[in-house]
Amino acid sequence: MPQQQGHQPDHETYTGHAAPPHQAPLTAYFVVFFALMALTVLTVWVSRIDLGAMNTGVALAIAVVKALVVILWFMHVIHSPRLTWIVVICSFLWLAVLFVLTFSDYLTRHWNIY
């Protein structure tokens, strides 16, 4: 990015980020796309096999991998500043709180251990 004419930052609040945008090679996007296609085929194929209770777990594991691929490369988090990483990780941390607290109640009621 070319230097701005005049009006330079002259205080400590901002240290400057004027780096050129990270432009990933075009092939990277096609590699990600075909990986997602392969995982879609895999998730359909696995669902045809009877793994009992494991079917849902496998389907969710594949979906998590697909989501990670999309977040890191399509959504450019892998080349993002640390602050973006913190927001992304924290959003899933809150989601984990939502899931753990809800499921620790509802999914354990039929255990009847009390």
Q: Could you list the residues that contact another protein (CB under 8 A)?
A: 1, 4-7, 9-14, 16-21, 23-24, 26, 29-30, 32-33, 36-37, 40, 43-44, 47, 55-56, 59-60, 62-63, 66-67, 70-71, 73-76, 80-81, 83-84, 87-88, 90-92, 94-95, 98-99, 102-103, 106-107
Nearer to another protein, 12 or 113 (CB): 12
Half-sphere exposure of 65 (CA within 13 A, CB side): 14
Nearer to another protein, 26 or 113 (CB): 26
Nearer to another protein, 22 or 114 (CB): 22
Nearer to another protein, 50 or 114 (CB): 50
Rounded Cα distance between 16 and 18, Å, is: 6
Place of tokens 């969710």: 60
Place of tokens 């354990």: 108
Handedness of CA 42, 37, 86, 90 (dihedral sign): negative
Choose among 78, 84, 70: nearest CA to 32.
70
**What minimum distance in Å lies between the beta carbon of 1 and another protein?**
6
**What minimum distance in Å lies between the beta carbon of 114 and another protein?**
18
Rounded Cα distance between 100 and 16, Å, is: 40
